[in-house]
Amino acid sequence: GIVYSLLALALVGAASGQLVSSYKKLYKDIVSQFSCAKMPNNGTCAILFDDDGCGGWQLHVNEGYTELPSPGILDRLTDKPRKNDAEAVLVRDGCVFIGYDHSKDSLTTGLGDAIVVAAIDGHKYVNFDEDEYEDLDEEISAVDCVCRGFAFSKKN
């Protein structure tokens, strides 16, 4: 009897320890997503990131259309913003970010596929490897970002 009780208590303790550990990891992941980048108060509509977790280069995007730089030969050796390299975005509260597979000047393909991230209730951070965005993970060439005209837009 007592051996089984101690064994059961040990298993419950180990399981709850693993549960607490997994909750701590989830909490740290969530905190890192919100603290890895600060949204400046300078009109930035969104921030594109080279890597998940806000790593690598950052490209601050203002309202309107922005084409990402084409990579040069030396740019592949440096960590600078470039087409087909972004893995995450932080969108300002009240704004809508649209990422395109191609630039608007692409005569043969048009803009191609697109993803939309709407920050309706607070800044919104998205990793492009999530299911609904994965088609454009490291595939974005141009973006539109708009912070006006929506019911959830913030007053400037």
Give the tens place of pLDDT for each residue, 23-47.
Answer: 544 544 454 455 577 899 898 999 9
Rounded to 5°, angle at Cα 58 from 105 and 103: 10
Kindly indicate the confidence band of residue 75, based on its pLDDT and cuts at 50, 70 and 90: low
Q: What is the rounded CA–CA span in Å between residue 2 and residue 117?
A: 57
Kindly indicate the confidence band of residue 21, based on its pLDDT and cuts at 50, 70 and 90: low
| Least confident segment among 8-17, 37-46, 125-134 | 8-17
Q: What is the rounded CA–CA span in Å between residue 31 and residue 23?
A: 12
Q: Is the pLDDT of residue 22 over 80?
A: no
pLDDT of residue 156: 59
Percent of the chain with pLDDT over 70: 75
Distances (CA, A) of 74 to 67, 78, 79, 80, 118: 19, 7, 10, 10, 35
pLDDT of residue 3: 47
Kindly indicate the confidence band of residue 7, based on its pLDDT and cuts at 50, 70 and 90: very low
pLDDT of residue 47: 97
Supply the pTM of this predicted model: 0.74
Which amino acid, 154?
K
Q: Answer with the residue of higher pLDDT: 1 or 73.
A: 73
Q: Answer with the residue of higher pLDDT: 11 or 100.
A: 100
